[in-house]
A and B are shown apart, each in its own frame.
Chain A
C-alpha cells in the first residue's frame, strides 16, 4: 500500500509537488498527471501540503466526492475540498474502535499537534491548545489520554545516554537522531552503509506505544490484547513507521493506528464537538506527564536542545547554565555549533529539510566528518511543518503558520515547570519500577530497534 498518492483524475501536472519533494519521487511530464515512485518516496507529505489542485464540487465529469472520500479513507462527514495529492487516512478505523466497548482505547499526541489542531477550527495560526486537545480526545471516547511528549522525554533518556556512550567510546560517530521516520527510511534506501550512525532509539511514538502496552497495561490492570493504541501525529510517514514488523516489542502492534492532526480534526467535527469552547483539561498520568524538553521536539533543533539539556547535566553533574539553547533553533537549513560540556567539545549539527543533509552524508562517507551529534528532520521546519498538519489555503500564510506554531512550542516549553527530560518524575518512576536503567536490558528490548538496507543490490 502506498500512503501518499496523487489523484490521477485531478492532477494537472503543475509539478509544484515535485519542487518540494526532497527525494525526487514525483515523476511525470509537465501538464500531465504525476505519479509517485513509492520505492523512493519517504512519505513526508510535503506534496500533500503544497498541492493546490482541488476537486471541483460542481463538476459532473469527475468521480463523485463521496467516492473520493472513500478511496482516501476519509470520514464521509468531511466537507473540506479534496486536493490531488493526498495521504491515505485511518480516521474510520479509529471511529470504529472508539465505538467498540470491548476495547480499552488509549491515545498519544505528538508535540506539534497541540500547536496546530486549533487552526482547523478557525483559531489563529499556531494557537496553543493542549488542554482543549486533551478534552476533545476524552469526549471522543478515549479511556486514557496519554502523550507522545512522555515518549519524547523517554527518548532523551535513552538517546542522551547513547550519545554519551558513543562519545566516550569514540564509536560510530556522528550519532544521527532517529525520531523522523522519513529520514530513517531515506537512510535505509540511500545510505545503508551509514546505518550504524543512526541512533538505535525508536521514535517517541514507538517508545510510547511499547510502554502503553507493557507498563501502561500493568498500571491500568488491563490485558494488552484489549488495548487499542492510537497516535495523533503531524506526520504522514508515522503510519509507515508503526507498521514496521519490528514495532511489536510489547508482543502486540505497539501503535495500532496513526492519524494525522487533520484527521483528528475530522473526528472532532464528525462527533459535533465544539472544539473552540472546550475547557482545558490535563493529560492522564503517568504516561501523559512531560517536560518542556519533550514539547520542543516538534520544531527543528528541539531534539538537539532537549538532548543537550540532559547530556550536559549527566556529564557535568551540574545544572546547565542556560536552559534556552537558542543557537540550535531556527528554520530550514543546517545549523552547526561546538558546545562545551565539561571537558568535552561536542560538535553538533541540526538539519531541517532532507535535501540539506546530503553534503553532510557525502562528507561522512569520505571520512571527512568530525561531528558528534546530528539532528535531522525531513520536513522544512521539523514536525510543525509536517505533511499531516493543517494545510494552509494560501501560500502567503505558510511562513506565518510555521512561525506561530514554532513560537507556541517554545512558549509552551518556557511555561512548563520542568524543562529537562531527566527531571520528569514519572520518567524516573518508570525507570525505577519497570525499565531499570537507560540502555539496560528492558530498555534495549522495548525502546531500541534495528535498521535494514532498502537499497537495490
Chain B
C-alpha cells in the first residue's frame, strides 16, 4: 500500500503581493507545444494558468489543486481521464471530454474548463459545429486544466517564479514530522524552563 501522501503547493497569504508571476510562470512552462519561448512576443494563445490568484478584502492568494488523496475529481471523471501518477493527481488532457463534472466536484475550484490550444491554434472538435457569423464553424475543444505539480520539469514553476517566496511545496508526511519535532522541542523547553 502507498503510504506517502500527495504533495501540493500552498501559498502564504501574509507574503503574497498579488503580482501574478506564478500564473505567468505556470502558463509559460505548460505551453512549449504552443511555441511559447522566453519572451512575451512568442505568446500567441491566451494565458491559461493552472493556479488562480484570488483577491479579497483581506488580501491576495493563489489557489490551486490540493492533490486530494481520495480525489473527488478523479472519482467522478466518467472517462477516467484523471489519475494518480507518482505523488500527484493528473488530468490527461488528451482524453478529457470537457464534461465539467470535475469542476463541480472540486472543493477548491482548482479546475477550470477552457479551450485547448496546440501549435499556437485552438484545437477544434471533429464533428460538433456551431452557428456563427458566416455560417457553421467547427466548435473548439474545451478541456479541464489544473495543477500537475510541473511533473515534466521536476519542480513547480510557480514556486520558483514567486518574487516574495510566498509559495511552498508541502510534502505532508515530512511536514507532519517536522511539526511533531517543533512541538516536542517547544514542550521540552517549556518544561525545562
Binding site for B on A (CB under 8 A): 12-16, 30-31, 52-54, 56-58, 79-81, 83, 119-122, 125, 262, 265, 390-397, 400-401
- Determine if B134 is an interface residue (Cβ-Cβ < 8 Å): no
Q: Taking the complex as formed, is B107 at the interface, i.e. its CB lies under 8 A from any CB of chain A?
A: no
Determine the distance from Cα of A111 to Cα of B147 in the docked complex, in whole angstroms.
42
Interface size on B, residues (CB 8 A): 31
Among the listed B17, B38, B157, which residue makes an inter-chain contact with A401, where contact means beta carbons less than 8 Å apart?
B38
Task: Give residues 141-182 of B contacting A (CB, 8 Å).
Answer: 157, 160-161, 163
Answer yes or no: B97 CB below 8 A from chain A CBs.
no
B interface secondary structure, majority: mixed
Select from chain A the residue with minimum beta-carbon distance to B35. Answer: A122
Inter-chain contact B17/A119, CB cutoff 8 Å: no
The docked-state distance in angstroms from the alpha carbon of A58 to that of B117 is 14
Are the C-beta atoms of A120 and B39 separated by less than 8 Å? yes
Q: How far is the CB of B129 from chain A (nearest CB, A)?
A: 22
A12 touches B161 (CB 8 A): no
Give the docked Cα–Cα distance between A53 and B41 (Å).
16
Which residues of B does A touch, CB under 8 Å? 17-21, 23-25, 28, 35-47, 53, 55, 59-60, 114, 157, 160-161, 163
Chain A interface helix/strand/loop/mixed: loop
**Is B47's CB under 8 angstroms from A395's CB?**
no
Partner of A394, one of B19, B25, B44, B53: B25
B37 touches A122 (CB 8 A): yes
Instruction: For A53, list chain B residues within 8 Å (CB).
Output: 18-20
Which A residues are in CB contact (< 8 Å) with B40? 80-81, 83, 262, 390-393
CA distance A31 to B18 in the complex (A): 8
Q: In the complex, how many angstroms separate the beta carbon of B125 from the nearest chain A beta carbon?
A: 18
Contact B44 A393 (CB under 8 A): no
Apart from A79-B44, A393-B25, what are 12 other A-B pairs with CB-CB below 8 Å? Answer: A12-B55, A14-B18, A16-B19, A52-B24, A57-B46, A58-B46, A80-B43, A262-B41, A390-B40, A393-B39, A394-B38, A396-B160
| A210 to B160 Cα, complex, angstroms | 48
Please give the distance in Å from B185's CB to the nearest CB on chain A: 35
Give the chain B neighbours of A13 by CB distance below 8 A: 18
CA distance A393 to B46 in the complex (A): 14
Contact B160 A14 (CB under 8 A): no
Contacts of B21 in A (CB 8 A): 52, 395
> What is the bound-complex CA distance between A390 and B60, given in angstroms?
29
Cβ of A400: which chain B residues have Cβ within 8 Å of it? 38
Give complex CA distance A120, B41 in Å. Answer: 5
